[in-house]
Structure 1
Amino acid sequence: MAIRWKPYLRDESHPIDADRLQPVEQAWGVRLPDAYKQLVCCYQGMAPEPCVFDVDGAEDVFNDLLTITPIEGRESYSVMRVHEVLAPHLPPGIFPFGRTPGGEYLCFDFRDAPDSPRVVLVTSDLSIYPVANSFQEFLEGLHDG
């Protein structure tokens, strides 16, 4: 099923150049998945449709793609800001890319596969649940509720 991206943080898309991702990769010491880089450059701050994903025998919702370039007054949606808040409480190698409506975070987990991170859900109590073996698998698994 094709994913459509709809406005969430802004009224329209706010594309960025791929070189805006280099400072994020350098700060985190990782190479982000190409599929993610292509999406976030076009759809940062937007919401996917379909948006439901399976996790731990239940369903949750991918609410929005965090931003690479912070939006004034909405810095809490920035990947760098979210990482700054989460990092002291999580094992090294986990980096956020999306949010759920309940304030949980979809993250890349580079701990076991530095070249091909898994996708995990970090809950509000900082538990970590596996979601998909890759970003591409995660996207392919999105469905209607």
Structure 2
Amino acid sequence: MNIRWEPYVWKEAHPVEPVLAEKLEAVWGIQLPEEYKQLAPLHHGMSPIPNVFDIGESDNAFTCLLTLDSEESKAGYAISTMYSLIKAHVPTGIFPFGMTPGGESICFDYRDAPPGQPRIVLVTIALEVYSIANSFREFLEGLHELRD
């Protein structure tokens, strides 16, 4: 994976303790992908470069990893905020970790997935769910620059 992470929510990197990812697992009752647990504490609130992903015949952009902490001034970017907004409207087993420029949620989909190996889906503003990748690693490896 050749991804560079740039500040987005804060003006510089804002690493947190890995225990925040473990607490998320406990609250949600799931096992997060290992790649995510290693990446998120270091790069939460940051944008990947490249950041474009394919969704069917079109593409979209991965704006940033949602934040693991719930800093009040940045609450709009927090995983806990995004989850509270979508949980009543999407099937059980879908958990957000990222967002797009349009405010859509990039999510782990644990429905019918082995522990720690969720698929990746996009939850649109209209609360429709679209498959993006079979794993977090596949999602990251599929990020690319905008094509002509």
Asked whether the two chains share a fold, i.e. TM above 0.5, the reply is yes
The 2-side partners of 1:114 and 1:90 are apart by: 20
The 2-side partners of 1:92 and 1:84 are apart by: 13
**RMSD after superposition:** 0.9
The corresponding residue for 1:128 is 129
The corresponding residue for 2:141 is 140
Letter in 2 for 1:34: E
The corresponding residue for 2:43 is 43
> Which stretch shows the higher mean deviation, 107-116 or 70-79?
70-79
The 2-side partners of 1:19 and 1:4 are apart by: 24
The corresponding residue for 1:96 is 96
Which 4+ runs in 1 deviate beyond 3 A?
A: none
Query: Is residue 62–residue 100 contact of structure 1 (8 Å, CA) maintained in 2?
Result: yes
The 1-side partners of 2:70 and 2:48 are apart by: 19
- Residue 36 of structure 1, CA deviation: 0.7
Report the TM-score, using the length of structure 2 for normalisation: 0.95
Number of aligned residue pairs: 145
For residues 103-144 of structure 1, the C-alpha deviation after alignment (integer angstroms, 9 at most, x for no partner) is 101000000104210000000000000000000000000000
The 2-side partners of 1:45 and 1:130 are apart by: 23
- Please, which runs of 5 or more residues in structure 1 have no aligned partner? none
Report the TM-score, using the length of structure 1 for normalisation: 0.97
The 2-side partners of 1:126 and 1:41 are apart by: 27
The 2-side partners of 1:114 and 1:80 are apart by: 23
The 2-side partners of 1:134 and 1:18 are apart by: 21
The corresponding residue for 2:112 is 112
For residues 5-55 of structure 1, the C-alpha deviation after alignment (integer angstroms, 9 at most, x for no partner) is 001011111111211112211111101001011111100100000000001
